[in-house]
A and B are shown apart, each in its own frame.
Chain A
Amino acid sequence: MRTTTRIALAGLLAAAFATTPAIAQQTLKIGFITTLSGPGGIIGETMKNSVELALDHLGRKVGGLNTEVIYGDDQFKPDVGKQVADEMLKKHQVNFVSGIIWSHVMLAVAPTVTSAGTFMIGTNAGPHQLAGNQCSELFFTTSWQNDQTPEAMGKYMTDEGFNDVYLMAPNYAAGKDMLTGFKRTFKGRIAGEVYTTVNQPDYQAEIAQLRATKPKALMVFYPGGMGIQFLKQYSQAGLRGQIPVYSVFTVDEISIPALKHAALGQFETRIWSPDLKNAANAKYVADYRKKFGKMPVFYGAQSYDGIMLIDSAVRAVKGNLADKKGMIAAMRKANFNSVRGKYSYNHNHFPVENFYLLKAVAGPTPGGDPVMEIQKTVFANHKDSYSQECKMKW
């Protein structure tokens, strides 16, 4: 009796496994890795929310297939990110890995995913290695290469005739890319360049050094909570009126509610803004605000685009997930309604896109939070500076 049961069970299991590939063809699995805990958790939340909104807009079917999104938390650590990616590849056998906020995490995760023959769709971090000699036909990003946004700021500040600019950024992969990018297009004198420890809470020592140097302007990169602390302390040091601050990825819809008036008048450069005029963006911003009760952020906009890019690829191959060549060819066309408007892909799979100058201005409701508003286009169809190091051709 027991033997029969065992055989029956074994048969059942065998049957279950035998049918798995057929079912897998029907289901699209996306592993979305971001930071969901700790101070970076707020960024991850906006990305996750935007993925959910994209799924809603697609009727929960990406590319017409039943879709399962598995979320993973990298905890801001490269080793954890790599572990999560490994689990997604081996245990969940995902078709796409997407997300990633931080460059140091991306540098650990992207090679793991692409070397396993799976697509990596980045939606934020753009370390220069992946745009240059480590480019891969399985890697696409819906964001930017790190250097590009500060390049736009460098261009703007050069045009405005600034000199003696002081630079500050946290000491990690993206921090260095950002200042490198700024220096590539900024033609004036640099008064000083300071790298601080990542997630350092207090900047008073650096602010004192900065005050003693007497620069004409300050350019910083302090994403997430770091930006809030830096700008608060800069304001408290009484320097806000004296030395203007220009920033990238520092003043956004995440930091504004904590900064309020300390954000007013701040300039940023960016590929996206809530007030960007196109139908896809109007729908995204309105539905995001309706569903989650707050303003979307660029991290989310890029993640929304990431899902839409995957949707366009799967649709192009009519749901045949084994046709990777077909999906690569489809994604290279960027054939979907991006919330930033139409853009194209460079041969290294990084976007060629517009960069705008944004300013934090008083919001529509009196006493409400400031909002970001586009002032002008700094770069139209801007390419990154590392593409010539990428050997990929198409």
Chain B
Amino acid sequence: MNAILIIEQALNGLQLGVMLFLMAAGLTLVFGIMNLVNLAHGSLYMVGAYLATYFAQLTGSYLLGALLGLGGTLVVGMVVELIALRTLYERDHLDQVLATFGLILFFNELVAILWGRNAIYSNLPEYLTGHVELAANLFYPLYRLLIIGIGLLVAALLWYIVTQTRIGMLVRAGASNRTMVAALGINIRLLYTLVFGLGAALAGLAGLLSGPLFAVQSGMGEQILIQVFVVIVIGGIGSVRGAFAGAVIVGMVDTLGRAFLKPTLATIISPAAADSAGPALASMLIYLLMAAVLAFRPQGLFGGRSP
């Protein structure tokens, strides 16, 4: 365990954190403002990855593919909201869970029909494959730095939109009292569609960024969705600030746990015991953290305040 390794792992944690944040921000906004539990958020992530990969192969340009993928996911998100989710706002959460779970199945089968069950080939363009020497002997992949940069930029942008603009004011108002906002003559339906589209676009962005790293295949969204739910529970449902804090905490705890828990345990208990306990404990760490947060602060770290 040397300093360089710790810094590298911290960067990995931050990178996972911002990726989770992109997902969590949309999910928490939709939940906080529209009171809708959207299990299909992972499907939008998958749609983003598929569309970006598909368009990149079609146009031969990674950047163009990414832009079209982002726009495509935004459109898909809005269409889903218009067709399927509008009718669910007044229903209770169980109905919403059932309906959006149905959407997961629908999207997973849809991509399997369109692109087959095989994971599709996706890779980075040559100019993004390099490594950056951040300090002596600390080489970090350029693409992962790019993800961190984009994630932080989006976080800043969201903060600006939510706290400094009129739309943001409506979003915050909608989160605290929907009926009053509607009574003041704001078109709450349009606001909902916009918020959902924004959430979908963020999930799509996370998806298209992970395309070159992960296997682009049917069902890829569900692999990350559970962690995203952990993030919003820790951060506080409905709070974008909470989503950011929760995402970075979960990213860090998960990554550092996977990297350092076993060697640390080995210094306390026998190496053989650490070998079996380490990986098991590391994969439980974020859930233990969530349980602790729920026990001591059930509303989440930033819950119960404005987003």
**Residue ranges of A at the interface with B (Cβ–Cβ < 8 Å):** 37-39, 41-42, 45, 171, 193-197, 199-202, 204-206, 208-209, 212, 225-226, 228-229, 232-233, 236-238, 254-255, 257-260, 262, 294
Contacts and interface: CB of A to CB of B under 8 A. Distances in A.
Given A193-B275, A212-B2, A233 B217 contact: no
A258 B15 contact: no
Contacts of B297: none
Interface in B180-230: 210, 212-220, 222-224
Nearest to B259: A205
A199 B258 CA distance: 14
Nearest to B13: A205
B270 to A, nearest CB: 15
B258 A257 contact: no
Contacts of B255: 204-205
Contacts of A260: 121, 123
Contact of A237 (B117, B121, B141, B216): B141
Given A41-B112, A193-B275, A205-B255, 20 more contacts: A37-B108, A38-B219, A39-B215, A39-B223, A41-B219, A171-B280, A200-B283, A201-B215, A204-B16, A208-B12, A208-B259, A225-B119, A229-B214, A232-B123, A232-B212, A236-B212, A254-B118, A257-B118, A258-B122, A258-B217
B215 A257 contact: no
Nearest to A197: B283
Nearest to B218: A41
A154 B162 CA distance: 57
Nearest to A209: B259
B288 interface: no
B213 A229 contact: yes
Contacts of B108: 37-38
B117 A41 contact: yes
A255 B282 CA distance: 28
A233 B212 CA distance: 9
13 contacts: A38-B108, A171-B280, A197-B283, A205-B9, A208-B259, A212-B2, A225-B119, A225-B215, A232-B215, A236-B124, A255-B119, A257-B119, A260-B121
B117 A45 contact: yes
Contacts of A206: 258-259
Nearest to B129: A236
A232 B213 contact: yes
B93 interface: no
B80 interface: no
Q: In the A-B complex, list the 5 residue pairs whose CB atoms are closest, starting with the nearest.
A: A228-B215, A258-B119, A225-B215, A197-B283, A195-B279
A205 B12 contact: yes
B131 interface: yes
Contacts of B292: none
B283 A201 contact: no
Contacts of A237: 141
B156 to A, nearest CB: 24
Interface in B140-198: 141, 143-144
A327 B52 CA distance: 54
Given A39-B217, A39-B220, A41-B117, A208 B141 contact: no
Contacts of A229: 213-215
B5 A208 contact: yes
Contacts, number: 116
B8 interface: yes
B120 interface: yes
Given A171-B283, A232-B212, A42 B259 contact: no
A206 B260 CA distance: 10
A205 B215 CA distance: 17
B142 to A, nearest CB: 10
A171 B279 CA distance: 8
Contacts of A232: 123, 212-215
Contacts of B2: 212
B226 to A, nearest CB: 10
Given A196-B279, A258-B120, A236 B141 contact: yes
A90 to B, nearest CB: 27
Contacts of B219: 37-39, 41
Interface in B101-152: 108, 112, 117-124, 129, 131, 139, 141, 143-144
A158 B198 CA distance: 55
Contact of A233 (B118, B131, B213, B224): B213
Contact of B118 (A195, A205, A258): A258
Contacts of B217: 39, 42, 225, 228, 258
Contact of B121 (A45, A196, A202, A258): A258
Contacts of A37: 108, 219
A71 to B, nearest CB: 15
A201 B259 contact: no
Contact of A202 (B119, B122, B123, B213): B213
A257 B279 contact: no
Nearest to A45: B117
Contacts of B215: 39, 201, 225-226, 228-229, 232, 258
A228 B212 CA distance: 11
Interface string B6-19: 00110011011000
Contacts of B117: 41-42, 45
Nearest to A36: B117
A262 B120 CA distance: 14
Nearest to B283: A197
B144 A204 contact: yes
Nearest to B275: A193
Contacts of A208: 5, 8-9, 12, 259
A37 B101 CA distance: 14
A175 to B, nearest CB: 10
Contacts of B212: 232, 236
Nearest to A39: B219
B258 A201 contact: no
